Amino acid sequence: MNNKKEIKKRIPWNKGKKGLQKAWNKGLKGLRWQNISAMIIHNKENGVWNKGKKLPQLSGKNHWNYGNKMTEEKKEKLFNGHKKYIEENGSWWKGKKLSEEHIKNLKKSKENEKERLYRRNGNYVPCLTCGKVIYQNTSQLKQGSYCSLKCSPLKKRSSNHLIINGFIKEKLGLEDIRKKYGGSLPKIKNILYNYGITHDQIILRRNEYIGKKNKGLRKGKKMSEEIKNKMKKYWRSPIGRKQQREKRVNQIFPKKDTSIEVKIQNFLKQLGIEFFTHQYMKIEHGYQCDILIPSINLVIECDGDYWHKYPIGNDVDHIRTKELIEKGFKVLRLWEFEIKSMKLNDFKNVLQRRKK
């Protein structure tokens, strides 16, 4: 109410003033172009009536509505009136086509929204190589903060090499490689195919990844006969057998060393000879040997009397000794009864004979 009273008190700038000049078109009748020509002649002879005059500035603090805010009632009225107008007459843009400039502006606004959402949960972090402060999203912070390709280890030339090493040496799945080194899954597959990795190897790695992820989900549940038959077919196929061999390479059999193995290991420690236990031997009939001495290139096997069939021996043991000798290894097989009665000097003499 106070604003209305103030507006009534204000005096307009042209109150009581009258125009001194006559209208240029007074008494003229005819076509439009004739009237326009008469206006031009009139302005040339008498001059323009408002030439050099300025209107009072009503912007900023001089404006009559400066500092006043719209009430909530007015906002509701405007909103409801706009709503009714659209319901009755429809929207003004209905049936109209957008111009090319308008479409470009809409695309820019969408891109700006994406950047705003992308930068919402980020943080300012220094570069790991040069120390330059950069803004990065939470997903980028997990991969490592780098300001450019020069600073990052994932350069264009070396990215293929890292992906191949991640699959072969680190034994990562495709999803783990994508999270660690970036890139899409089809691009990673193409890099692996070009290197020579087959589709079957990728499927094996995927099955391993799924098995780790879903470990313990089927605990206490029984398999159907269809699934059992599928599993049998898979594990009897060449792909399944290859997977079993790869797993057995890293497994240790048995988990605990036998008493005769421990006795020979103690003898080697007393003599100061370096040795390794349960090393996988890459031969046709591959297996994990009991003890390997790399300095002499000697393999020691501690055979139990019962399991290795004293005094004949197993057929597989004879085949493996031949394959090891062909590879250039020396083989020393000791029976259980011999090791139990053996002393340090006796073992020393046996080693000296094998060295020769």
Would you list the domain boundaries of the chain? 114-152, 259-355
Q: How far is CA 339 from CA 161, 273, 343, in A?
A: 50, 18, 8
Compute how many other C-beta atoms are within 10 angstroms of the C-beta atom of residue 278: 17
The torsion angles phi and psi of 320, rounded to 5 degrees, stand at: -70, -35
Where does 95-236 show beta strands of DSSP type E? 123-126, 133-136
Q: What is the mean pLDDT of the chain?
A: 77
Q: How far apart are CA 5 and CA 1, in angstroms?
A: 7
Q: Is the pLDDT of residue 341 over 80?
A: yes
At residue 230, the pLDDT reads: 87
Contacts with 140 (C-beta within 8 Å, 6 or more apart), sequence order: 122
pTM for the model: 0.37
Structure tokens at 193: 């195919």
Q: Is the pLDDT of residue 157 over 50?
A: no
At residue 218, the pLDDT reads: 58
Q: Are 299 and 292 in contact (CB under 8 A)?
A: yes
High-pLDDT (> 70) share of the chain, %: 68
Residue with tokens 């020069």: 150
Q: Is the pLDDT of residue 155 over 50?
A: no
The torsion angles phi and psi of 116, rounded to 5 degrees, stand at: -65, -45
The residues with which 348 forms a beta bridge, in sequence order, are none
Give per-residue burial for 299-317: e unless 16+ CB within 10 Å, then b.
bbbbbeeeebeeeeeeeeb
Residue type, 24: W
At residue 149, the pLDDT reads: 63
pLDDT band at 323 (very low <50, low <70, confident <90, very high): very high
At residue 332, the pLDDT reads: 94
- The class level of CATH for 259-355 reads alpha beta
Long-range (24+ apart) CB contacts under 8 A made by 321-325 are 323/283, 323/284, 323/285, 324/281, 324/283, 324/299
At residue 142, the pLDDT reads: 56
Q: What is the mean pLDDT of residues 221-228?
A: 81
- Cα atoms in the 13 Å half-sphere on the side-chain side of 153: 9
Q: What is the mean pLDDT of residues 330-348?
A: 93
Q: How far is CA 21 from CA 18, 44, 50, 53, in A?
A: 9, 14, 10, 15
At residue 65, the pLDDT reads: 74
